[in-house]
A and B are shown apart, each in its own frame.
Chain A
Amino acid sequence: MTAAITTRGLTKDYGMQRGLFDLDMEVGAGEVFGFLGPNGAGKTTTIRLLMGMIFPTRGSAQIFGLDCQQEAVAVKTKVGYLPGELPQFGGLRGSEIVAYLGGLRGGVDSTRVRAITQRLELDLGRRYREYSRGNKQKLGLLVAFMHRPSLLILDEPTASLDPLNQQTFYDLLRESRQDGATVFLSSHVLSEVEHVCDHVGIIRRGRLVSIAGLDELHHLRIHHVEIEFAGAPPLDAIKGAEGVTDVRVDGSRLRCNVRGGFEPLLTAIAGRGVLNLVSEEPSLEELFLSYYRDEPPLESAAT
C-alpha cells in the first residue's frame, strides 16, 4: 500500500521535555488513522509539522512522497486541514471566508460548498464573530472538506459539535474515504477513534507509545464500575470474572475495573440482587498510566 504520510525520526524539541520526539510512523493511502493522546501529548505539534507550519528540530515528514517542509505548497494542494484552534476572522461573513480561502486554492466548487453547508445546517450569511463555537467548527470542517482533498488532516474535529453534527461529520468522513481519501485525525476520545478509524497511533508525552489496529483497541478499553447490591456482593464470583481487576468492597457497594467486554462481569452478578450499576470511561491519561506506566516508547512502528 502507498504511504500517504511517512515520518522518520520526526522531532520538535521545545525543551523541558516538551514537544515531539523521534516519531516514526506510516499511514497508508485510503486509511482512516486516529492519533490518540491526552492533552499536551504532542498531537497538534505532529499535525503542525505535517502541515509545514513549524519546522522539525530533526527528522523528516512526507505526504504522498512530498517533503512537508521543502515541498509544502505541493503538499497543501492535496490536503484539507482543520486546525485545533479556529482563527479569529472578526467581522467577515462565513460566505466571504469560504470565498477567500477557496480563492487561495484557485477557486471553489459552489455545489460542493452548498451540499456540505446544508448538511451541517450552517448559515454562511452570518458574521464570524456571531458564530457559536460549534458553528465555527462547522465552518472549519467545510473549509477542510470543500475541495475534495486526497488527505484530510483534522485536529480534534468533533470538538464543540453536538451529537447530530458529529454524525454528519462521520458521514462526510465515510464518503471521503469511499472516494479514496486518507484521513489523519487527532482525538483524545477513545470511543470516537474506535468509531471511525482503521488504525490508531497512541502518543504520550511526545512519544509514540503504540500503533494498533481496531481489533487490538479493545485491550485498551477499561471501565470503572460501581455496583450496589441488595445484600452482600458476590465477591468470589466477581473476582473470578475475566477482565475484572482492582475489586474493592464497601458494605453493599462494590467497585472494580473492567477490561474488554462486560459479559463475564454481567454473568457473575446475574440474579444477585443488583440495585444500581454505574460504568464510567476513565480519562486517556488515567488509561495510559494504567497501561504504559513502565513501558518504553515504541522504537519503530508501521502499519
Chain B
Amino acid sequence: MTVLRIGLRFHRTGLISTAALGGFSGMLQSLGFQAVVGNSEAARQQFGFQMQVLGRQLSYLVPLPVHPETLAGYVQWRAFGFFPVFFGFWALMAGSGVIRGDEDRGLLELWLASGTSRARLTAARAGAFVIAVAVAILIVLLLTGLGATIVGSPLPIQGLLADGAALLATTSACFAIALLVAQFADSRRVAAGVGAIALLGLFLLNSLGRTLQGPDRFRGVSPFYYYDRTNGLSPGGQIEWASILGLSVAAVALIALAGVAFARRDLGAGLVRPRPTVRAGVTEPSRNPLLRLPVLATIYEQRVGLIAWMVSTALLALFMTSLAKSVADLVSHIPIFRAYVSGQGDLNRAVISVFWFAMMPLVLAVFAVTQVSRWTTDDTEGRLEMVLSAPVSRWRVALEREGALLLATTLIAVVGSIVTFWAADAQGISLGVGPIVLATALLLPFGLAFGALGAALAGWIPRATVLLLSGYAVASYFLTQFAPLFRWPRWVENLGIFYLYGTPLTTGVYWTGFWILMAVIGVAMTVGLLSFQRRDIGR
C-alpha cells in the first residue's frame, strides 16, 4: 500500500496537467461548436462536408470524423481524436520513469531492501498509474460533458464512458510498452528515447494505415488501432468492448512481462547488457573545447535533448506547413475562421502565420519550461553547488543560463523556420526571406520570457514553478486561439502572453506587444537575478 500511495503521489503533476489539458480542450470544443457550425441547416451541412474534407487531410493524425456536423460527432473527432496524443505522452514519461526513474533516484534499492518483491513493486507502480489515469479521464469526461450540457446538447453517457474506457485501455497499453522497453535500457533518458520511438512508430503505423494499404496490414499491432475502433459519441458510431477488453488484457500481459524482465535484470543495467569492451583507463580531462566555454558547455551537456527538440520542431513545421493549402481552402469557406486571417493578404501565408507561427511561441515556451525545471534540479541535485565552488559569480551563472536558453531557442526556431520556408516553397507558397527572418527573430523573446519568469518564480516557489509556468503557457495558447473564435473580450485574450507576438509573417512587427514583452523580460529577469544573488543554494 505504501508504494501504491507514493506512486500516486508521483503521478500528481501528470494527473493535474493532463486532466486540465484534456478537460479544458474537451470543454472548449463543446462550448465552441455552436460558434463554428453556423445557425442554419444548410450551414451545418456545409460545415460537416468541410470537416470531412479536413478530416481526410488530417487522417494521418486523427481518425476520420463521423457526423462532425453534430456536437457529439465534432467532440468525438476534435477532442477524443487528439486525447491519445496527450495521454500517450504521459504514459511514455510515466512508463520510463516508473522503476527505471525510481532507480536513477536511488529509491528502488530502498524499496527492495525493505522487503518489497520486484513483482509487487511492478504491480503497485503500474496500479498507481492506472488509477491516476482513470481519475484524469473521469475529470476530462466530466468537463467535456459539462460543456456540452451548458450549450444544451448533452452527450450520450454510454458513448462518453466507452470513449473513456478506450482511452484508459490505450493509455495503459502505451504505459506497458514504455515500461517494458525501459527494462532493456540502462538509464531513464535512454528508456524515454527508445520508448518514444517505439510509441511514435506504433502511432504512425496506425495513422498511415488509415489511408495507405501497406501499413494497413500491420495496424493490429498498434494499441491506437483498437482505440480508433470505438467512437461512441458519434451518431451511428460504434462501441467495440471486445477491443477495449483485448487492449486491457494486452496491457496487463505487457506489464507482467515487464515485471519478469525487471526481476531478471541487474539494478543499474538493462536486461541485455552489451559485451564489455577492453579499453585503457582515462586519466586526463576531456579535450573537448566546448566544455571550457561559457554557454556552449551547457549546450553540449544537453545536446541529445536539444537535437530531439530540433527534429520534433522540424517535423511539426513540415506537418503544419503541408496542411496550409487545405486549411486555407476551408478557412475561405467558413466565415468564423475568416476572423483569424482577416487583413493578412495572401490566404496561404496567413494560414501559416496564424496556425503555425502562433504555435511556435508555445513550443519555445515549453522548451524554456524544461530548462527552468533543469535549473531547479541543478540546485536540488548539487550541480549548482559544484559550479559555485569555482570562482564564478552568481550573476555569471544566471546570465549564462539565460544565454544558453537563448541560443537553444534560436537553434530550435531557426530549424523550424527553415523547414517551414522550404515546405511552403515546395507547395508554391512564397513566404519571403525578410518576413520569415523577422517572424523567427520575434519568437526568441518568448523562450527568454519564460526562462526569466521561471528564474523569478524559482526563488520564491521552487516546487510549483514548473507546474505554474506550464499551465500559463498552455492557457495562453488556448486564449490566443479561442478568444477571436468566441469573440471574447480583448482583456481576456490579453491575459495570455502569446498575443504579444502578433502576426509578423504577414503584418510586420506588433510593436506594442514587442515592448510589453521586453518589459516582462526585463522585470522578471531583474527579480530573478536579485533573488538568485540572495538566496541559499542547495539541498
Contacts and interface: CB of A to CB of B under 8 A. Distances in A.
Contacts of A102: 285, 292
Contacts of B293: 103
B382 A83 contact: yes
Interface stretch (A116-124, A174-182, A255-263, A290-298): A116-124
Contacts of A168: none
A52 B382 contact: no
A203 interface: no
B389 A103 contact: no
Interface residues of A, number: 48
Given A54-B537, A123-B281, A103 B382 contact: no
Given A96-B291, A103-B292, A113-B285, A87 B382 contact: yes
Contact of B279 (A107, A108, A125): A125
A143 interface: yes
Nearest to B281: A123
Interface in B345-402: 381-383, 385-393
B284 A124 contact: yes
Interface in B317-367: none
Contacts of A72: 388, 393
Interface residues of B, number: 35
Given A55-B534, A73-B393, A85-B539, A104 B283 contact: no
A99 interface: yes
B508 interface: no
A244 interface: no
Given A53-B537, A77-B391, A108 B301 contact: no
Contacts of A129: 104, 187
B152 to A, nearest CB: 54
B246 interface: no
A92 B539 contact: no
Interface string A90-115: 11111110111111110110100110
A79 interface: yes
Contacts of A54: 536-538
Given A72-B393, A87-B385, A99 B536 contact: no
A108 B286 CA distance: 10
B282 A104 contact: no
A35 interface: no
Contact of B386 (A77, A83, A114): A83
Given A74-B391, A96-B286, A53 B104 contact: no
B385 A104 contact: no
A95 B390 contact: no
A76 B391 contact: yes
Nearest to B301: A92
A104 B536 contact: no
A69 B292 CA distance: 26
B291 A99 contact: yes
Contacts of A81: 389
A83 B379 CA distance: 13
Contacts of A96: 286, 288, 291
Given A55-B534, A104-B387, A95 B382 contact: no
A99 B286 contact: yes
Nearest to A110: B284
Given A53-B538, A100-B291, A103-B297, A83 B389 contact: yes
B490 interface: no
A99 B288 contact: yes
Given A54-B538, A95-B282, A124-B282, 11 more contacts: A51-B388, A53-B537, A54-B536, A77-B391, A83-B389, A96-B286, A99-B291, A100-B292, A125-B279, A125-B281, A125-B282
21 contacts: A48-B538, A53-B536, A73-B391, A81-B389, A83-B382, A85-B539, A87-B385, A90-B187, A95-B286, A99-B285, A103-B293, A104-B391, A105-B390, A114-B283, A118-B283, A122-B283, A123-B281, A124-B281, A124-B282, A124-B284, A130-B268
